[in-house]
Amino acid sequence: MLTSTRRRLLRERLFVGLCASAVVIPLLVLALLVGHVALAGLGRIDWAFLSGYPSRRAATAGILPAMVGSLYMIAITAALALPVGVGAAIFLEEYGARSRLAAIIEVNIANLAGVPSIIYGMLGLGVFVRLMGFGRTLIAGAATMALLVLPVVIVSSREALRTVPYAMREACFGLGATKWQAIRQVVLPMAAPGILTGTILAVARAIGETAPLVVIGALAYVTFLPTSPTSQFTALPMQILNWVSRPQEAFVVNAAAGIVVLLITMLVLNLAAILLRNRLQKRVY
Amino acid sequence: MPTTREREPARPAKFSARGVMAFFGDKRVLHGIDLDIPAGEVTAIIGPSGCGKSTFIRCLNRMHELIPGARFEGTIELDGSSIYGREIDPVLLRRRAGMVFQKPNPFPTMSIRDNVLAGLRLTGSLDKTRAEEVVEFALKSSALWDEVKDRLKQPGIGLSGGQQQRLCIARALAVEPEVLLMDEPCSSLDPVATARIEDLIHELKSRYTIAIVTHNMQQAARVSGRTAFFLQGELVEVGATDRIFTAPTDSRTEDYITGKFG
């Protein structure tokens, strides 16, 4: 009896240990990577680096155009993806949820979320850069990124809409509201925190995407700031890629510093998402 | 045209239902109901769970058909004209027949004041210059004014369950309906809160036609002038409430009100 109890306890501990290591090991690897990059790059980050333009000499090269380009691009990405994504989610969730067509669309959206980003790059190159004639501009990059994040925006918006109880819609209908009036004034405000969080997280992922930008041909060496959506541009990942591929050691240090800037930008965006959600949730008493 | 079951003379019918059948998918839950809801009176609909009483009042404001797969057959007239006609907009009908639900459901993103005005805002018919007047009228009508008049800006969801339900009644009244349909409005409330709602129903009956669904027979006896007894999707008996509770003509009604089943 006693021995079997001890064995059971041992097994229990073994299992807990396994689960804990599943948490700790990836975190350790991640910490190692971030630590390595930070060690190499942190020393390089100063005001001159943040406010400087690319240069042939590593010591004077800066990342301002890349940073501005990235922020500009994701702002447009969000502006494109949010209305389209929320619109699609409203249609699927509130209007077409039971039709066959909606079921087919739903499966395909889930599939689209898994399509490699380089494929979206090809699509962007074909449609936005060439067919629509945008060229290698900010708007082409942002539109491509918007396509890329759209499935995630749609899925998270649908989930947010689903958390609003049917009783709320019913209350609206009982007062003589149409479906659209109920959605606009009651359902959407209640779902807003979830929708915004999902969108910001999706867009924050897009800031680190490189492949689509490479394919649509964003520039890597840009000595000016983008002034309008039709400007040519570069972005942080492009700049990092460019520096990493240079043979000189000093440029690799620049790349590490660029990675640190990129990571911090992403963290700030995620933090913004959390703060925004908390603020809005307080409004939903 | 009174039906054969209609023994007592009633006031003119506000709602007049004939041959009402309601379906969920293939399942028929109402098997041909003939029932009048007289104007300016409280009609209670009683019966055990699943007898179709909620479905019936949801046919009266066409909420039943919003459920996917739900279907309706028969005729219902409001003030003598059909509400299921092709030219009838169910949205407008629902403004004439307000509804109070089983569970209080104030809008969580809105203050007490905004909840009262929600119906008018939702439908884009709020006259801003009259807003304060409407809020005071509706909250006084629902006997909530004295309790909330100093905190109209606070969230409606912060009120107690009974207050929330009276807020929902105020919200329904603000749209100025002619009929109030109440679907077990006290089933989630404690006895004190229930008593307040029942008092309120007494005050409202002079101004509105009220149909109240309840599984609480004492409540039906206390608040209503007429009672209809539903069983398994059929109307067993309808008449003046004191007669139904003292001298039911159908043995099933008697069994139910004496507690032999249900």
Banded model confidence at residue B3, pLDDT cuts 50, 70, 90: very low
Q: What DSSP element (H or E) covers A216? A: helix A211-216
Taking CA A23 as the corner, what is the angle to CA A20 and CA A27, rounded to the nearest 5 degrees?
135
B residues 167..186 contacting A (CB < 8 A): 168, 171-172, 175
pLDDT of residue A155: 92
Averaged pLDDT for residues A37-49:
87
Residue B98 forms contact with A (CB below 8 Å): yes
pLDDT of residue B2: 41
pLDDT of residue A280: 77
Banded model confidence at residue A47, pLDDT cuts 50, 70, 90: confident
Q: Is the pLDDT of residue A276 over 90?
A: no
- Closest chain A residue to B103 measured between Cα atoms? A167
pLDDT of residue A201: 87
Q: What is the mean pLDDT of chain B?
A: 91
Q: Is the pLDDT of residue B215 over 60?
A: yes
pLDDT of residue A2: 61
DSSP string for B46-75? E-STTSSHHHHHHHHTT-GGGSTTEEEEEE
- Closest-CA distance, A109 to chain B, in angstroms, reads 24
Contact A45, A61 (CB under 8 A): no
Banded model confidence at residue B172, pLDDT cuts 50, 70, 90: very high
User: What number is the ipTM of this complex?
Assistant: 0.88
Q: What DSSP element (H or E) covers A38? A: helix A2-41
pLDDT of residue B10: 58
- Domains, chain B, in order of start with CATH, read 13-102+178-257 (3.40.50.300)
Which pairing describes strands B97-100 and B179-183: parallel, antiparallel, or unpaired?
Answer: parallel
Q: Is the pLDDT of residue B7 over 60?
A: no
Banded model confidence at residue B4, pLDDT cuts 50, 70, 90: very low
Banded model confidence at residue A97, pLDDT cuts 50, 70, 90: low
Instruction: Indicate the range of A66-80, A152-166, A221-235, B24-38 predicted with least confidence.
Output: A221-235
Q: Is the pLDDT of residue A41 over 90?
A: no
Contact B117, B134 (CB under 8 A): yes
pLDDT of residue A284: 53
Q: What DSSP element (H or E) covers B18? A: strand B13-24
B242: Cβ–Cβ under 8 A, 6 or more apart, which residues? none
User: Cβ–Cβ of B171/A177 closer than 8 Å?
Assistant: no
User: Cβ–Cβ of B108/A173 closer than 8 Å?
Assistant: no
User: Cβ–Cβ of A171/B63 closer than 8 Å?
Assistant: no
The β-bridge partners of B36 are B16
Q: What percent of chain B has pLDDT over 70?
A: 96
pLDDT of residue B107: 94
Q: What DSSP element (H or E) covers B15? A: strand B13-24
Banded model confidence at residue B180, pLDDT cuts 50, 70, 90: very high
Q: Is the pLDDT of residue A241 over 80?
A: yes
Q: Which amino acid is at B160?
A: S
pLDDT of residue A154: 94
pLDDT of residue A285: 46
